[in-house]
Structure 1
Amino acid sequence: MTNTVKNFIIWTLILIIGISLFQKINNYYLNNYEVDYSTFLIEVNRNKIREARINGKQIIVIRKDLSQYTTYIPINDSRLLDILLNHKVSIIGVHPKGRNIILSVFISCLPSFFSTCILFFFINQVYINGGKGIFLFGKSKAKMLLKNKGKITFSDIAGCEEAKEDVSEVVDYLKEPKRFKKLGGKIPKGILMVGPPGTGKTLLAKAIAGEANVPFFSISGSDFVEMFVGVGASRVRDMFENSRKYAPCIIFIDEIDAIGRKRGININNSHSEQEQTLNQILVEMDGFEGNEGVILIAATNRPDVLDPALLRPGRFDRQVTVSLPDIKGREEILKIHMRKILVSNDVIPIILARSTPGFSGADLANLVNEAALLAARFNKTSVTMSDFEKSRDKITMGSEKKSLMITESQKEYTAYHEAGHVIVGRLVPEHDPIHKVTIIPRGDALGITLFLPSSDMCLLSRKKLESKISTLYGGRLAEELIYGSTEVTTGSYSDIAVATRLARKMVTQWGFSEKLGPLLYKNEDKEFFLGQSITKNKYISDKTTQIIDEEIKLLININYERARKILNENIDILHAMKDALMKYETLDSLQINDLMSRKLVRIPDGWHLR
């Protein structure tokens, strides 16, 4: 049980006891319990009254059971004293005085005031535990990293050399502002870092502050948004006011698209909390009040949804693209992360870099960490190359499902299927080199064939794309050749989906159809906001759509038949690779090359490597 819950229970009990106590005091002093005069006379005649305190026409009556009430004499009753004396009721005269109004009001309001104080205390405790008090809704949540505390420099990051060059001017300005002011130059007020997740945008912003040795304020775009309208704008004002005290400094807003989206998209409420927050940021960045020495850096992976006013010169003057690292960048990133662990001498970072295309900096950091955890699991003294390769396979293909029960028939189907991919991929032109093939289930797949490019590919030729399509159909065709068309399984679902998607892009976007020519027949995938565009315009006629479908089918059929021809011509290798996979479960590139070179010997139970 947390302290907040304990405090709430304790104060609730105090509240209940306090209310009961004050109700008794209230009843005692204010005498709100009144009885009519005739009832009073009846109780006197029945000998139930002990004492009567007479104050003019008011009588405070105390029964023999010590309960009390108030009654009033409606007319002058000359017999009242005789009746009271005959029934032995004590008569006390009270000097007439007015009721203490202030005391009465205070006692009446005290329970409500006490309840409000308890509620206030509980709400305040909740928000204090969340990081802010109830009166600090409008205060900035930016976390400040002071000079020399957790300092990160450009030497701590790699894989984004161009981005580091783009922001080096900001570092020079923060170090020597007079040099720029002397020439009349102005440093950009804002820098927008754009790139996929995990590429190091936040790390680069911290490195700028570390290189310049200035305070660093960090906050997420979602931290400005609350259920109360106006809180976000207040936090923006407070953030800039605080940062001016530490100028020169850097403010970093991560995921700025949370508050920087285009305005006017909400038809129900055009003055929403998000828009008010955005308006305040626009004013602070380029309003009447200057922010000399305060540089705003923001990061997003959705620059297309940001408001144009946020991107104009004078606000985010410069956009820095932080893209996925190339082979050289991946190698440098791996070396940086490997400094923190004990690495064996057999680890070659360049080979790992080549086998991790498309990995971001965060992915590579995770790869190194997974390899270290794997080595620790087996009590190794250092992390070996095999640990890195197993961790890479786990990340790219999923964990091995060794406990999954697969029949020999399903295992044979999978072996033929994967062998078909390998053979076609090795024999079609311009295809990526084969790295390994396995029939050990990983993730949702029963088997995986892994091709790795020898270098980063920026452009894809038609020949390479068609080779990919042929290779994707190699698995299905291998099943068809061995078992017949009626026994083909559903294992080719993802292969067919990828091949169809590639063929459609070749026809509609990349101009690889001779009949349709180099024209774009597909709108770019963009986000359509309510209030901007509700429906998409149709630019393609029904006849053209039919031609597109025919061209896609023709492209698929050509490469499908090419893959069939390759497998028919190498049916002996298909059987041999199936046997090898059934025995060893995993084949590397050297074993595959031996099989493709027919370095085999025939024995009764199948083909085996020499």
Structure 2
Amino acid sequence: MAEELVSPIRQGAHDIALDRERMRRRRFYRLAVVVLLVEAYVIGGAFAGWSIIPPLPHVDPFLLTIILFFGLMLLVVVGTQMGGGRSPHLTYRPEQIDVGLDDVVGIDPVKEDVRRSIDLFQTHRRFADQMGGSPRRGLLFEGLPGTGKTMTAKAMAAEAGVPFLFVSATSFQSMYYGATAKKIRSYFKALRKAARAEGGAIGFIEEIDAIAMRRGGMASAMTASPMQGFHRGLVTNQVVSEGTGGVVNELLVQMQSFDEPTGGDKMYNRLVARVNLFLPAHRQIQQRKPGRAPILLIAATNRADSLDPALLRPGRFDRHLTFSTPDALGRRDLVDHFLARRAHDAELDEPTMRDRVAAATNGWTPVMIEHLLDEALVNALRRGSLTMSFHDVEQARITEMVGIGQPVRYTAAEQELIATHEAGHATVAWLVAPNRTLEVLTIVRRGDALGLLAHDDCEEVWTHSHYDLNSLVQIAMGGWVAEELFFGQTSTGPAGDLASATRTAAQMVGAAGMTGSLVSFAATPHDLVSAVLADSSARESLETVLDDARSHVRRLLSRNRHLVEALRDALLERYELIGPEITDVLEAAAQTPAPAPVTPPTGTPLAKVLHVA
């Protein structure tokens, strides 16, 4: 429907292109007049015998030095005062911007709305005059860092062919009283000036929450809790130094002043107003109305909920666009886009390989995917190649997910314990959750973890069933049960696993209504786990979920000890298994007959185990 509304007014040249050409001709005519006047003066002086450059008066050098000294001091004082209120923005010409909308990949729903906003911006006059609409003046980009907000704004300016005035909200802040509001006024003045000179302009304020937090007044700023004060940071100081909401008030006023008259119009209207004082009502001279400045203001933030509500109403930020992490199709487009500019082996041209990369980066932002491929190039360079392979991408992904591997000298007993623990996790995951992909199984220390299992959904899903959550609890119990079965006792290693299982079970009990009770502890202001543990009946249900999961995993691993042993031996030999290497070991072990059950040992020493994650 929006395309049908925009397309009729897009016939012919854009309003911005017409305004730009009109301004260019006006500047050319002014320059021509100046050149003709100078030329007439020179020619007239030549015929009349005048001196083209008048002789300079003789000035005493000592007096000239004093004049220059005091003039310089005055210039420094005035410059300091004027410089403190200058706009801190940077202006980019369209030809200086190296990105376009074709480079904005993976966020197609947002991109479609962005194109519509550009269409309305470029045809603002016809949309207003012929159709009676109000053009969009402000767009608010909200989303996680790295989702493409700044890049999209720059691409919009390049697509529209207008100057791009970039400014960070923190650069408005000043230690001097009133300087912040003055900088904001200067920025919008520069925005209006650029729009009138170039036919249009796009302004972009990065992290606008630094100057546009919800107004609470001086009292609330002084009585805020320590955490709230820390959360607000410099903004609280700004409120104190500039008055209650003074910065936000200035921003609100300026966003309503896009159509402010120019300096020439102000002077003309002032003169007309004085003349009209002497004229009767029916002979009054009409004053000039302010022209419509073709301005589009874009602001970006990842904390839109903390912005002042007055900023979010139509007429200021008319459109709110949410930049979320791309879905599977979006990530595949991003992989194609980034690989087209990076050297890679022929195997990465196969659609199946690119689909694997896209599937393995579920929840990643575009910047994270780009950084992943850059790290893959670094891995290729380290092994002496100028092109990345799929293995380089996988190694880079593992490093991004779980950190850089650190060599650790385990004792023989400790190494066997860690391998058994992680093999228990992987075996349970393979048996109870066929809808999950086993990505990394390692006993190499990464960060604080001495070993780990990384697994994810095979397909991109947005909801999880009771079976899915129960499987996660069982997988978390796999390491604990494996230690108990093979060593007769457990170490401190399962501590993190029990915490993870408790959080998942708390979601089942206290939020999803999966254990009989329909009471949601998520409706309380407290943490979900704390609220569940504080309630006696909910805690009992939580204990039941965890105990049932442990019992089920104990029966499962007791019947499949040979699978755990096969994975354990593979880890002790290779230290790290990636992707299909894990399932290959399990499938090979599953084809062999299961040995007779063995009674678990009791009280086997754990050889000075201090921490296993």
Same fold (TM over 0.5): yes
Q: Write the letter of the residue equivalent to 2:499.
A: A
Distance 1:491 1:522, change over 3 A: farther
Q: Write the letter of the residue equivalent to 2:369.
A: L
Q: Of 137, 159, 171, which aligns to 1:211? A: 159
Q: Write the letter of the residue equivalent to 2:308.
A: D
CA contact (8 A) 1:216 1:251 kept: yes
Q: Are 1:255 and 2:221 matched, yes or no?
A: no
CA contact (8 A) 2:147 2:324 kept: yes
Q: What pairs with 1:396-475 in structure 2 (closer than 5 Å)?
A: 396-402=401-407, 404-429=408-433, 431-475=435-479
CA contact (8 A) 2:258 2:293 kept: no
3-state SS, counterpart of residue 379 of structure 1: coil
Q: Are 1:141 and 2:100 matched, yes or no?
A: no
Distance 1:176 1:522, change over 3 A: closer
Distance 1:288 1:386 in 2: 54
Query: Which of 1 and 2 has greater Rg?
Result: 1
CA contact (8 A) 1:189 1:294 kept: yes
Identity %: 32
Distance 1:517 1:315, change over 3 A: same
CA contact (8 A) 1:152 1:210 kept: yes
Q: Are 1:354 and 2:359 matched, yes or no?
A: yes
Q: What pairs with 1:24-39 in structure 2 (closer than 5 Å)?
A: none
The residue that corresponds to 2:501 in the other structure is 499
Q: Write the letter of the residue equivalent to 1:495.
A: D
Distance 2:533 2:92 in 1: 62
CA contact (8 A) 1:431 1:468 kept: no
Distance 2:340 2:526 in 1: 41
Distance 2:404 2:83 in 1: 47
In structure 1, list runs of 5 or more residues that go unmatched. Answer: 1-109, 125-131, 527-538, 603-610
Q: Of 367, 390, 394, which aligns to 1:385? A: 390
The residue that corresponds to 1:162 in the other structure is 109
Distance 1:469 1:431, change over 3 A: farther
1:225 Cα shift? 1.2
Q: Write the letter of the residue equivalent to 2:546.
A: I
Distance 1:271 1:568 in 2: 66
The residue that corresponds to 2:255 in the other structure is 285
Q: Are 1:266 and 2:213 matched, yes or no?
A: no
- The one of the two structures with greater contact order (alpha-carbon pairs below 8 A, sep at least 6) is 2
Q: Are 1:245 and 2:193 matched, yes or no?
A: yes
The residue that corresponds to 2:246 in the other structure is 276
3-state SS, counterpart of residue 452 of structure 1: strand
Distance 2:479 2:307 in 1: 44
Distance 1:147 1:595, change over 3 A: closer
The residue that corresponds to 2:549 in the other structure is 559
3-state SS, counterpart of residue 342 of structure 1: coil
In structure 2, list runs of 5 or more residues that go unmatched. Answer: 1-65, 224-235, 261-291, 594-613
Q: Of 560, 576, 582, which aligns to 1:586? A: 576
Distance 1:524 1:169, change over 3 A: farther
The residue that corresponds to 2:7 in the other structure is none
Q: Of 390, 395, 399, which aligns to 2:400? A: 395
1:287 Cα shift? 4.7
Distance 1:503 1:229, change over 3 A: farther
Distance 1:279 1:589 in 2: 56
The residue that corresponds to 1:519 in the other structure is 520
CA contact (8 A) 2:362 2:460 kept: yes
1:453 Cα shift? 2.0
1:292 Cα shift? 2.8
CA contact (8 A) 2:89 2:165 kept: yes
1:134 Cα shift? 6.2
Distance 1:500 1:120 in 2: 68
The residue that corresponds to 1:86 in the other structure is none
Q: Are 1:221 and 2:169 matched, yes or no?
A: yes
Q: Write the letter of the residue equivalent to 1:508.
A: G
Q: Write the letter of the residue equivalent to 1:277.
A: V
Distance 1:521 1:375, change over 3 A: closer
Q: Write the letter of the residue equivalent to 1:375.
A: A
1:508 Cα shift? 2.1
3-state SS, counterpart of residue 267 of structure 1: helix
Distance 2:442 2:513 in 1: 36
Distance 2:74 2:137 in 1: 45
1:234 Cα shift? 0.7
Q: Write the letter of the residue equivalent to 2:119.
A: D
3-state SS, counterpart of residue 493 of structure 2: helix
Distance 1:288 1:581 in 2: 66
The residue that corresponds to 1:483 in the other structure is 487
1:497 Cα shift? 1.8
CA contact (8 A) 1:232 1:276 kept: no
Aligned residues: 469
CA contact (8 A) 2:259 2:293 kept: no
The residue that corresponds to 1:295 in the other structure is 296
Distance 1:169 1:161, change over 3 A: same
Distance 1:593 1:288, change over 3 A: closer
3-state SS, counterpart of residue 471 of structure 2: helix
| Residues 197-231 of structure 1 deviation map (CA, whole Å, 9 limit, x = unaligned) | 11111111111111111111111121111212211
Distance 1:544 1:383, change over 3 A: closer
CA contact (8 A) 1:430 1:464 kept: no
Q: Write the letter of the residue equivalent to 1:329.
A: G
The residue that corresponds to 1:29 in the other structure is none
Distance 1:392 1:429, change over 3 A: closer
The residue that corresponds to 1:50 in the other structure is none
| Residues 512-548 of structure 1 deviation map (CA, whole Å, 9 limit, x = unaligned) | 230x21534543589xxxxxxxxxxxx98x9982222
1:448 Cα shift? 2.0
Stretch of structure 1 that moved more, 197-206 or 285-294: 285-294
| Residues 288-315 of structure 1 deviation map (CA, whole Å, 9 limit, x = unaligned) | 9557311111111111111111111111
The residue that corresponds to 2:149 in the other structure is 201
Q: What pairs with 1:41-60 in structure 2 (closer than 5 Å)?
A: none
Give the TM-score taking structure 1 as reference length.
0.71
The residue that corresponds to 1:371 in the other structure is 376
Distance 1:210 1:331, change over 3 A: same
CA contact (8 A) 1:412 1:582 kept: yes
Distance 1:596 1:157 in 2: 42
